[in-house]
């Protein structure tokens, strides 16, 4: 067969496709038609190189199909190993994706099910690939001549050229309707405008499909819909704009516009700069701005931040919370401000370390697991639509305690830079504390995200705070940490860095920018690039970016000629002066255009160059870097300038210094402080600061400090600066705050009396006076301010004279202290100068508070300057919470207060209050005074109260201490809040921060409230009320101190000692070594001698008197008289009458006991015990026993000999003797010689544990040459009953819980005991009622089982059953609730067993009458009768050899009276031999009575015997 194989013509299909495109005007598909040949070639090329062989169907001339396999591909399988010129494998190249048409069709069909929206590109590609795939499968083979084949090939080429021309023509005709990526026709332009203006950014974008537009501010997406008051974004046709309204300084940023469609992405940037038009210092981002009117809500929002957080201190690992209460006025429904937290002017984002919460009133920031990175200035910014307010305070984080003394603390601020495919630079900051020795270096650890295994990156510690980490795996994420190292050891690790991905920077930038397009189901297939197989060119711009003693970092640009499969790099080095190049990374090429070279010799010069490689080989080297000397390029910073410390507050100091000179890459400064004279330096900050001014907080008030500063950069620490001058930590003195509440107190024709409230802050120094200014007011016209007094006023009121009647005046007041004059107060309202005609008193003046505590405060005032028509006769004090309105005022008391002060109690801690006072006269109550407050009800830390002291001389004084003393501060003592000027009653002595008010002659005249206030402080004060009761108590205490008494820790006591000795003793509590003791008996001094022994231990204060015995003459009083300087003490003990005689008897007994114990004696006398096994034992303990000591037992005065039966019951173990009363002795065990025991010696059953036979008096005797002793136990009557009661107790407590057993007769309740005695009383109760014995319910004992049998139980037997066992007292009860499930199960089991018993009793059975074997002579008659039983009467039949017999002439079967079954066989034959059975059966069962019948012939048997 001849012919050629070719693919079915495609021209017709392509023409049809072209016509369809013309009809539908789908110009997009023409683009793919123009590229059809390249796609087809790629597809068929992939098909041919597939490892599978295609089956081809070939038609023969006869029409038969023959299946043949296509030939295997002839070219070798492609390798993906990259090799250099020496054919060495240098890496692996990822191949381009390939697929045949079958795979493509499968992917397309699978993807169609999941994709909801299809793009134009996807539709065109899918239709084209599916059609061609279908064509490639349906291959037909036809015979054609070579001439025809050549002609068709020429026609196909001509058709392809025609289609390409047609496609180009369509492109020119419809250029805008072709799909293409976005393109910026007009880009947005940067603008610079003044603050408050509006900025509009414009751009024009082309692209098909229509691109999506997004605007960004500093890479943060702008949501114009969420902030319509600020941004407006518009898109009209292809023109897009972003409008930024009411620009302020914070709108200065880089703005990006991004255009995105299915073909790609494009972006453009524009810079917007907002300028301010003002003179002076420009405001910062956190400086508060005046609130403006909000058009959206029609109000002006005013923000107040209260309950502010103070400077905070935390420790690493702890949790710290910061919070403020924010009040927004007015309140607009559903409107909430924007609350933002900042650290060092950088906004904080919520993370696992940072949690923010806004409740609508309170803003809270929680820092979990503090680290030094969290240290800094924290700012709360509250943004409203009228402006914003801020509040800031510093947070200090102290280092956690080190595990090993002397090691450095953990580094901080670990960051990753310059991340690439297999390379990243890790940086950190050195800690503030190096430990006991300087830091020698650092270890860097890395960990892949997702596991917990840390690997150390460097073998030797690095001293430079920057380290390149190589050897990363591309595409994986890593975190890093750093540990410091010195001679003492290694520090704790730092906080881990943020995760970083090892990948190419361009890929990272593309990922940050977001996806190129939303997923539309597009699948891209890449052809094999023509550049594959090209050796890459040489890298460019090889430079050294970092050089240290430890390593050198190289960087370069990739080559321009590199193909699309990716390149890798080899780094080579050469020592200066040689021509030998050595490959650094010969083991594995690197993928990143960065590399760190280690193991270089310090001080030597090196050249470096780089080669590229891919699958085609290794390229030419780059241009060498030139001579590089190995060494640190970065020097240590120089020492900072001299620090200057100035006072700030009473716990902080401001430190300023000159910056380090010529320092590169400064990280910051560390400040250290030391108390003068200690030489112990403590860090003031644990995170370096770059400013040259720092406020050091947390210092001790009144201490003297010096400071020093050191700079730090990546190379290390500088030398410490010189120490600052010593500064005492006290609050700096400043001008006071402005006075407030300027009010009119009285007015006459030509003068007015003014009053005001003193400043809330005196600036750290006492207010020395006030200055008053005035001006005239006519309507809305204000005159100039004039001074009214040239000399400072010392009171908070002033009489303004020489005024004009009926003229309005305004007044303002300024306060003065040693630092200067304050700003003026807020001008008062206009006061008219005319005479008052009111009759009620004016408002009280001079309101102020003292002694502020959590629940109380003292309010003081001065009387009004104008009394009205009658004198003031009392005052009313009003109070309200600061947050309440005017309706919140309420009176503190109901009755008038005559005094000019009042202590208010019952306040809520942490709540702010406002107070005012009203005066009263006979006419009525006057106007309230100016408010004082808000006063926060909170006890200041370190607050101390006045305490009363009585010294050793009996002097009574009041003492008050203050730890906040400042320059110019002094103590002011008052009685009833009037300063004490008369020193006849009190003497004031002040030393430093301690003042003492001494009573000269305490009496009832001194009763009252004494208070003490410290000037030039923040209200440090306290009071003490001396009552009559307290005065009497103090006078008694003073008398005790004047005439002291030696205190006794223990008064005289007595105790008996061994041998009957008597010990008298007492112990003093306070005494000196000069203390003397006098021993007295009946007013006669006794001395050391034969009868008396005395001791006095001056270390413990123990006084002792010993007597060997008590005689009749020793009855009386024993006394210890003590003298210690002017202090005296006496303690006595009276021994007379019965008490003395009882003590004498005990003494004699103890002496007799001591004599007894010199020989063998009883430690514990003979008694009894009952073991858990219910054995009754008589036991005693003996002491001081020798081997030759005799031990004799007896009962009823009859000795128990060794050969007696009772001797076996005696046991001795160590010092304990026991006699087992109930032990059973087997007489056979006592027999010796092996003779057969007689009947009387046969073993008896075990005897009871105890019986009446065991009653008697048992005695034990001990004796040897040293002495003797005896003990007896009366086991009769009461003794016997006590033993039995104990036995009953053990038996009763050994009983187990009641168990349930069911039988065919009923239910049995039982409990087992260890042993049962016939005398034990056991009672059973049912429902708490005693059960009477009957035939149906019985109780009893079987062995050790106590039981209750309930025959034929019914529902009445349900309920609670109690077994009461007598235990000698109340009895032991065991309870069982026989109801519910327990009753059901027991009753069901009883019925089952009863039914089974009935069935067994009435079951049909053969009860007798039948033999097992019957031997009968042939010809005889056989008659057998079997007795049968069963209820109901059973069925009866007979069987022979398992076959039933029927009654006939041969077999006569009878069943009579229901009991007798008979079988008769007349003239038996040998055929009747066999196995017979009488079968009986009823409804309860059946049974067979089997027997064997053997018929024999005597004649045949005789013949057989003869034969034998």
For 175-233, what is each residue's pLDDT tens digit? Answer: 555 678 899 988 999 898 888 889 999 999 988 888 999 999 988 889 888 888 889 99
Which residues, other chains included, contact 1272 with Cβ-Cβ below 8 Å and sequence gap of 6+? 1166, 1257, 1258, 1259, 1260
Q: How far is 105 from 525, CA to CA, in rounded Å?
A: 13
Burial class (CB in 10 A: 0-12, 13-18, 19+), 522: middle
Which residues, other chains included, contact 1335 with Cβ-Cβ below 8 Å and sequence gap of 6+? 1351
CA dist 411 → 95, 483, 485, 715 (Å): 45, 6, 10, 14
**C-alpha angle with apex 1419: 1415 to 1421, nearest 5 degrees?**
70
| Eight-class DSSP state of 1356 | G
> How much is the pLDDT for 512?
57
pLDDT in tens, 1339-1361: 889 888 999 999 989 888 889 99
Mean pLDDT for all residues in the chain: 81
> How much is the pLDDT for 492?
92
Give the CA count within 13 Å in the CB-facing half-sphere of 742: 26
Q: How far is 309 from 323, CA to CA, in rounded Å?
A: 6
Burial class (CB in 10 A: 0-12, 13-18, 19+), 1174: buried
**In the structure, what pLDDT confidence band is assigned to residue 62 with cuts at 50, 70 and 90?**
very low
Residue 12, pLDDT above cutoff 80: no
pLDDT in tens, 420-450: 877 888 999 999 988 889 999 999 999 999 8
- Cα dihedral value 1148, 1149, 1152, 1153, nearest 10: -140
pLDDT in tens, 1305-1321: 899 999 999 988 888 88
Residue 479, pLDDT above cutoff 90: yes
pLDDT in tens, 1160-1201: 888 888 999 999 888 889 999 988 888 888 888 898 888 888
> How much is the pLDDT for 656?
93
Residue 363, pLDDT above cutoff 90: yes
> How much is the pLDDT for 1505?
60
pLDDT in tens, 1066-1102: 998 888 888 889 999 988 888 888 888 889 988 888 9
Is 1399 in contact with 1451 (CB distance < 8 Å)?
Answer: no
Q: How far is 463 from 411, CA to CA, in rounded Å?
A: 12
**In the structure, what pLDDT confidence band is assigned to residue 986 with cuts at 50, 70 and 90?**
confident
**In the structure, what pLDDT confidence band is assigned to residue 811 with cuts at 50, 70 and 90?**
very high
Residue 1250, pLDDT above cutoff 50: yes
User: How many residues make up the chain in this entry?
Assistant: 1508
Burial class (CB in 10 A: 0-12, 13-18, 19+), 1434: buried
pLDDT in tens, 1421-1459: 888 888 898 888 898 998 988 888 888 888 888 888 888
Residue 493, pLDDT above cutoff 90: yes
CA dist 391 → 288, 311, 345, 676, 1020 (Å): 9, 12, 12, 34, 27
Averaged pLDDT, 286-311: 76
**In the structure, what pLDDT confidence band is assigned to residue 287 with cuts at 50, 70 and 90?**
low
Q: How far is 787 from 775, CA to CA, in rounded Å?
A: 9
**In the structure, what pLDDT confidence band is assigned to residue 60 with cuts at 50, 70 and 90?**
very low
Averaged pLDDT, 986-992: 86
**In the structure, what pLDDT confidence band is assigned to residue 533 with cuts at 50, 70 and 90?**
low
Q: How far is 740 from 933, CA to CA, in rounded Å?
A: 11
**In the structure, what pLDDT confidence band is assigned to residue 962 with cuts at 50, 70 and 90?**
confident
| Eight-class DSSP state of 1045 | B
Q: How far is 588 from 421, CA to CA, in rounded Å?
A: 14
Residue 632, pLDDT above cutoff 90: no
**In the structure, what pLDDT confidence band is assigned to residue 173 with cuts at 50, 70 and 90?**
low
Lowest mean pLDDT segment, chosen from 98-107, 1181-1190, 1290-1299: 98-107
Q: Which two tokens stand for residue 1427?
A: 């007795």
> How much is the pLDDT for 1259?
92
Residue 520, pLDDT above cutoff 70: no
> How much is the pLDDT for 394?
93
More confidently predicted of 53 and 784: 784
Place of tokens 């029609």: 298
Give pTM, 2 decimals: 0.44
228 phi, psi to nearest 5 deg: -70, -25
Q: Hey, is 33 helix, strand or coil?
A: helix
Q: How far is 1454 from 1046, CA to CA, in rounded Å?
A: 125
> How much is the pLDDT for 170?
65
- Cα dihedral value 1206, 1212, 1215, 1218, nearest 10: -40
First to last CA, the chain: 103
Q: Which two tokens stand for residue 219?
A: 């890479």
More confidently predicted of 566 and 715: 715
**In the structure, what pLDDT confidence band is assigned to residue 8 with cuts at 50, 70 and 90?**
very low
């Amino acid at each position: 067969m001849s012919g050629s194989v070719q693919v079915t013509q495609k021209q017709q299909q392509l023409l049809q496709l072209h016509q369809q495109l013309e009809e539908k005007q789908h110009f997009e598909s023409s683009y793919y038609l123009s590229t059809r040949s390249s796609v087809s070639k790629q597809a068929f090329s992939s098909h041919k190189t597939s490892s599978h062989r295609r089956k081809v169907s070939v038609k023969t001339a006869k029409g038969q199909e023959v299946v043949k396999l296509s030939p295997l591909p002839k070219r070798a399988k492609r390798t993906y190993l990259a090799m250099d010129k020496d054919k060495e494998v240098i890496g692996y190249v990822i191949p381009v994706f390939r697929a045949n048409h079958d795979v493509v069709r499968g992917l397309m069909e699978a993807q169609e099910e999941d994709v909801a929206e299809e793009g134009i590109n996807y539709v065109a590609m899918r239709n084209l690939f599916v059609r061609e795939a279908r064509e490639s499968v349906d291959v037909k083979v036809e015979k054609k001549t070579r001439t025809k084949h050549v002609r068709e090939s020429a026609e196909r080429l001509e058709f392809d050229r025609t289609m390409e021309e047609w496609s180009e023509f369509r492109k020119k005709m419809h250029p805008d309707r072709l799909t293409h990526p976005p393109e910026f026709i007009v880009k947005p332009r940067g603008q610079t405008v003044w603050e408050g203006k509006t900025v509009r950014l414009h751009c024009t974008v082309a692209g098909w499909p229509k691109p999506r537009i997004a605007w960004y501010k500093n890479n943060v997406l702008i949501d114009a819909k969420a902030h319509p008051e600020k941004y407006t974004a518009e898109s009209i046709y292809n023109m897009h704009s972003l409008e930024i309204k009411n620009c302020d300084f914070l709108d200065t940023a880089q703005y990006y516009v991004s255009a995105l469609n299915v073909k790609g992405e494009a972006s453009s940037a524009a810079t917007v700069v907002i300028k301010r038009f003002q003179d002076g210092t420009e405001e910062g981002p956190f400086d508060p701005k005046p609130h403006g009117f909000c058009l959206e809500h029609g109000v002006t929002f005013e923000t107040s931040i209260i309950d502010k957080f103070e400077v905070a201190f935390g420790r690493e690992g702890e949790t710290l919370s910061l919070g403020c209460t924010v009040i927004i006025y007015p309140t607009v429904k559903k409107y909430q401000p924007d609350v933002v937290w900042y650290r060092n002017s950088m906004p904080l984002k919520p993370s696992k370390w940072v949690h923010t919460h806004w409740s609508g009133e309170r803003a809270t920031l929680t820092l979990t697991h503090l680290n030094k990175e969290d240290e800094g200035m924290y700012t709360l910014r509250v943004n409203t639509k009228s402006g914003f307010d801020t509040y800031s305070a510093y947070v200090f984080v102290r280092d956690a305690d080190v595990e090993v003394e002397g090691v450095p603390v953990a580094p901080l601020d670990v960051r990753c830079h310059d991340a690439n495919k297999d390379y990243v630079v890790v940086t950190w900051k050195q800690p503030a504390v190096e430990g006991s020795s300087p830091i020698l270096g650092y270890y860097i650890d890395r960990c892949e995200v997702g596991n917990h295994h840390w690997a150390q990156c460097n073998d030797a510690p690095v001293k430079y705070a920057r380290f390149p980490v190589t050897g990363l795996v591309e595409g994986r994420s890593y975190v890093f940490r750093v540990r410091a190292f010195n001679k003492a050891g290694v520090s704790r690790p730092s906080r881990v860095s943020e995760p970083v991905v090892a990948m190419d920077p361009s890929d990272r930038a593309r990922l940050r920018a977001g996806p190129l397009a939303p997923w539309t189901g597009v699948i891209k297939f890449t052809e094999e690039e023509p550049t594959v197989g090209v050796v890459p060119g040489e890298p460019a711009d090889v430079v050294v970016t970092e050089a240290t003693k430890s390593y050198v970092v190289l960087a370069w640009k990739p080559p321009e000629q590199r193909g699309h499969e990716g390149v890798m790099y080899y780094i080579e080095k050469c020592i200066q002066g040689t021509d030998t190049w050595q490959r650094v990374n010969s083991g594995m090429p690197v993928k990143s255009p960065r590399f760190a070279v280690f193991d270089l010799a310090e001080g030597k010069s090196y050249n470096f160059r780089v080669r590229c490689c891919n699958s085609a080989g290794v390229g030419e080297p780059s241009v060498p870097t030139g001579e590089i000397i190995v060494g640190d390029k970065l020097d240590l910073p120089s020492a900072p300038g001299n620090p200057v410390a100035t006072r700030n507050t009473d716990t902080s100091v401001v430190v300023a210094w000159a910056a380090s000179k010529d320092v590169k890459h400064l990280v910051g400064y560390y400040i250290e402080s030391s108390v003068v004279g200690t030489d112990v330096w403590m860090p003031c900050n644990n995170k370096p600061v770059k400013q040259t001014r720092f406020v050091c907080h947390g210092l001790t008030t009144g201490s003297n400090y010096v400071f020093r500063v050191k700079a730090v950069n990546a190379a290390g620490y500088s030398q410490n600066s010189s120490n600052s001058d010593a500064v005492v930590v006290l609050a700096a003195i400043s001008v006071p705050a402005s006075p407030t509440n300027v009010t009119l107190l009285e007015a006459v024709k030509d003068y007015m009396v003014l009053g005001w409230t003193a400043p809330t802050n005196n600036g750290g120094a006492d207010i020395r006076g006030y200055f008053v200014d005035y001006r005239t007011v006519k309507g809305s016209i204000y005159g100039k301010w004039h001074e009214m007094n040239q000399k400072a006023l010392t009171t908070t009121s002033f009489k303004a004279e020489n005024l004009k009647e009926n003229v309005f005046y305004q007044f303002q007041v300024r306060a003065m202290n040693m630092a200067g004059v304050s700003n003026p107060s807020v001008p008062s309202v206009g006061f008219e100068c005319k005479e008052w005609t009111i009759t009620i008193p004016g408002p009280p003046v001079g309101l102020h508070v003292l002694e502020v505590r959590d629940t109380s405060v003292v309010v003081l005032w001065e009387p009004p300057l104008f009394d009205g028509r009658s004198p003031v006769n009392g005052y009313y004090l009003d109070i309200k919470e600061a947050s309440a309105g005017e309706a919140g005022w309420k009176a503190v008391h109901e009755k008038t207060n005559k005094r000019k002060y009042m202590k208010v109690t019952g306040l809520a801690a942490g709540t702010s209050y406002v107070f005012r006072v009203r005066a009263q006269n006979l006419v009525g109550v006057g106007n309230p005074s100016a408010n004082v407050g808000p006063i926060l009800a909170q006890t200041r830390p370190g607050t101390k109260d006045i305490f009363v002291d009585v010294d050793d001389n009996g002097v009574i004084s009041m003492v008050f201490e203050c730890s906040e003393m400042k320059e110019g501060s002094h103590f002011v003592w008052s009685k009833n809040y009037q300063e004490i000027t008369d020193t006849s009653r009190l003497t004031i002595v002040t030393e430093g921060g301690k003042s003492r008010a001494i009573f000269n002659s305490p009496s009832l005249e001194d009763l009252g409230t004494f208070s003490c206030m410290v000037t030039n402080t923040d209200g440090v004060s306290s009071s003490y009320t001396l009552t009559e009761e307290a005065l009497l108590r103090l006078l008694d205490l003073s008398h005790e101190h004047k005439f002291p008494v030696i205190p006794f820790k223990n008064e005289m006591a007595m105790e008996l000692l061994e041998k009957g000795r008597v010990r008298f003793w007492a112990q003093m509590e306070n005494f000196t070594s000069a203390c003397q003791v006098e021993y007295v008996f009946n007013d006669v001094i006794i001395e050391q001698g034969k009868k008396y022994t005395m001791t006095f231990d001056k270390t413990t204060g123990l006084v002792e008197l010993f007597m060997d015995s008590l005689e009749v003459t020793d009855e009386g009083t024993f006394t210890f008289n003590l003298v210690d300087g002017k202090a005296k003490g006496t303690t006595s003990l009276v021994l007379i009458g019965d008490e003395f005689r009882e003590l004498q008897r005990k003494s004699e007994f103890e002496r007799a006991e001591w004599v007894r114990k010199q020989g063998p004696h009883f430690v514990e006398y003979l008694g009894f015990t009952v073991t858990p096994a219910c054995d009754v034992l008589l036991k005693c303990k003996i002491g001081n026993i020798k081997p030759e000591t005799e031990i004799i037992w007896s009962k009823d005065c009859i000795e128990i000999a060794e050969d007696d039966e009772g001797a076996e019951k005696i046991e001795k173990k160590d010092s304990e003797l026991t006699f087992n009363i109930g032990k059973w002795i087997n007489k056979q065990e006592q027999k010796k010689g092996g003779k057969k025991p007689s009947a009387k010696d046969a073993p008896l059953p075990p005897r009871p544990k105890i019986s009446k036979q065991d009653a008697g008096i048992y005695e034990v005797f001990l004796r040897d040459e040293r002495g003797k002793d005896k003990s007896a136990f009366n086991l009769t009557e009461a003794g016997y009953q006590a033993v039995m009661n104990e036995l009953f107790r053990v038996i009763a407590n050994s009983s187990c819980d009641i168990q349930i057993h069911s039988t065919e007769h009923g239910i049995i309740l039982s409990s087992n005991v260890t042993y049962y005695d016939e005398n034990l009383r056991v009672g059973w109760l049912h429902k708490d009622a005693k059960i009477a014995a009957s035939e149906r319910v019985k109780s009893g004992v079987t062995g050790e089982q106590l039981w209750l049998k309930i025959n034929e139980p019914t529902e009445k037997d349900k309920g609670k059953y109690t077994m009461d066992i007598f235990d000698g007292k109340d009895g032991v009860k065991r309870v069982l609730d026989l109801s519910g499930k327990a009753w059901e199960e027991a009753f069901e089991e009883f019925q089952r067993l009863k039914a089974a018993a009935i069935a067994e009793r009435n079951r049909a059975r053969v009860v007798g009458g039948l033999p097992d074997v019957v031997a009968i002579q042939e010809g005889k008659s056989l008659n057998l009768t079997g007795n049968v039983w069963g209820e109901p009467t059973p069925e009866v039949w007979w069987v022979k050899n398992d076959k039933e017999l029927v009654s006939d002439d041969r077999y006569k079967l009878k069943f009579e009276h229901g009991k007798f079954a008979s079988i008769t066989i007349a003239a038996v034959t040998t055929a009747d031999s066999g196995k017979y059975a009488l079968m009986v059966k009823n409804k309860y069962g059946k049974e067979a009575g089997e027997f064997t019948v053997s018929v024999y012939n005597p004649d045949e048997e005789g013949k057989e015997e003869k034969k034998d």
